[in-house]
Amino acid sequence: MHSLCSRVTLNTHTNSEMRVDLVITWDTRTQREILGDTLKLKIMTTANIQLTDEKETLFIPLSGKALDYRSKNSVLNDRTANDIVEKVDYDFATQEGFGARIGARTLAVRAKQYDEWTKDFITKNKNAVVVHLGCGLDARITRVQPPSTVAWFDIDYPEVISLRKEFYSETNEYSMIESSITASDWLEIIPADRPAFIIAEGVLEYLSEAEVKTLLNRLTTYFSHGQIAFDVMNSFVIGLGNKNLKDTTGAVDILKWAVDDLTEIDKLNPKLKRMEVVSRIKSVFIDKLPYGHRLIFGLLSLSSKHKNAMRLVRFEF
Ligand SMILES: C[S@@+](CC[C@H](N)C(=O)[O-])C[C@H]1O[C@@H](n2cnc3c(N)ncnc32)[C@H](O)[C@@H]1O
């Protein structure tokens, strides 16, 4: 190492997360071309992660996306998710069983579908605003790479955004909003007169039907036009999910909104026109998963209870 670098700086930050930045500056042109001017290695111990209940569930899709990244034939290729999993001090052991691993990769499939819908929308609407409700630590903006004409807003509870800011930085085009999505004032931060693409990935399940109705009405009243994409779980999976969450995280009955019949959503908001519905286990992106997984999903999809366990829906308004 001594022969390669001219200066090593160790910066310690004495905040609660105890962060150590090791900055190595390289001094020859050739090394700069290969390695960049500065290699910044961040060793982070986000000790005392105190996220509970629905906030803690962000680690489920995060670990699914990281697992997918490490798998042959990655669906999502989400390197950021893998980097965060390696840095964050959270016990991912509960998500490592065989069943959990199969389910985890379908969360990469779900994210891929939302990425494609987002790309489709911003390709047709160069001045779009993208809003991710309950963003957790998701890296969609790095996967989609929107043009600078798009304004992007990620929103989650303050505790989640505080952790998120350890890994992501705001720019002129990218903002993070600290709020519950059920609050009424956060929308005012976002321009209302541009085409809006709203994503709620693994989030609306944690609201009651009345809260979902209020939120959807607020969104379709505030934005002049756009699309909204979200997933719904049927009552079979809401019950199963609550049992699993209680066993793994101790959270009690945090999954609330069950949808067995999609016309229930149509009735919540007459401005919403359903465009597309995708069963998570019948998605085209399942094709990248191993044969054994596809076989299991193929068999499960013969039963409507499993086929409709989680559906991704896209509406326009
Ligand atoms: C299963 S995680 C999904 C995270 C992210 N969308 C993803 O797919 O990686 C659920 C997320 O929704 C957030 N959430 C749940 N209810 C919320 C609310 N009322 N307001 C803001 N965020 C909420 C949680 O904090 C958590 O980050």
CB-based contact 180:159 (threshold 8 Å): no
Where in 179-287 does DSSP place strands (E)? 196-200, 226-233, 273-279
Residue 220 domain flag: yes
Q: How far apart are CA 216 and CA 218, in angstroms?
A: 5
Same domain, 179 and 290: yes
Q: Do 311 and 198 have their domain in common?
A: yes
Q: Is residue 106 part of a domain?
A: no
Asked if 119 and 241 sit in the same domain, the reply is: yes
pLDDT at 24: 35
pLDDT on residue 301 = 94
* Domain count within the chain: 2
Å from CA of 267 to ligand 1 middle: 24
Whether residue 124 is found in the same domain as residue 263: yes
Atom of ligand 1 nearest to the CA of 159: 25
Q: Pocket around ligand 1: residues whose beta carbon is below 6 Å from it?
A: 54-55, 57-58, 60-62, 134-136, 138, 156-157, 160, 180-182, 201-203, 206
Residue whose CA is at the smallest distance from ligand 1 atom 2: 58
Residue 84 is predicted with a pLDDT of 97
Domain identity same for 226 and 146: yes
**One domain, residues 288 and 167:** yes
Please give the number of the atom of ligand 1 that sits closest to the Cα of 181. Answer: 20
Q: Do residues 203 and 133 lie in contact, with contact meaning Cβ atoms separated by under 8 Å? A: yes
Q: Which of 311, 238, 236 is nearest to 277 (CA)?
A: 311
Of 88, 68, 92, 86, nearest in space to 78 by CA: 68
Query: Per the domain annotation, does 250 fall within a domain?
Result: yes
Tell me whether residue 98 is in a domain. no
Tokens of 291: 């044969």
In a domain, residue 83? The reply is no
119 assigned to some structural domain: yes
The preferred substitution site among 143, 154, 157, 185 for testing ligand 1, maximizing ligand atoms within 8 Å of CB, is 157
DSSP 40-71: EEEEE--------HHHHTTHHHHHHHHHHHHS
- Whether residue 157 is found in the same domain as residue 294: yes
The CA distance from 265 to 276, in Å, is 13
Q: Could you list the beta-strand ranges (E) of 160-221.
A: 174-178, 196-200
Calpha distance 202→232 (Å, rounded): 8
Do 273 and 144 fall into the same domain? Answer: yes
**Model confidence, pTM:** 0.86
Q: Which strands, in side-by-side order, build the sheet including 5-13?
A: 5-13, 19-26, 38-44
d(CA 50, CA 55): 9
Q: Do 159 and 255 share a domain, yes or no?
A: yes
Atom of ligand 1 nearest to the CA of 55: 25
Predicted local distance difference test score (pLDDT) of residue 303 = 96
**Residue pointed to by tokens 């919540």:** 268
The answer to whether residue 61 sits within a structural domain is no
The answer to whether residues 24 and 162 belong to one domain is no
pLDDT at 230: 98
Q: Mean pLDDT for each 10-residue chunk of the chain (317 residues)?
A: 34 38 34 32 54 95 95 96 94 69 89 98 98 98 98 98 97 98 97 98 98 98 98 97 92 97 96 97 94 94 96 98
Q: What is the CATH number of the domain that holds 291?
A: 3.40.50.150
Looking at the structure, do residues 153 and 301 belong to the same domain, yes or no? yes
Range of the domain at 25: 5-44
Classify residue 49: in a domain, yes or no.
no
Pocket-testing residue among 54, 144, 207, ligand 1, by greatest number of atoms within 8 A of Cβ = 54
Residue 20: the pLDDT is 38
The Cα 68–Cα 81 span in angstroms is 9
Distance (angstroms) between ligand 1 centre and the Cα of 203 equals 5
210/117 same-domain check: yes
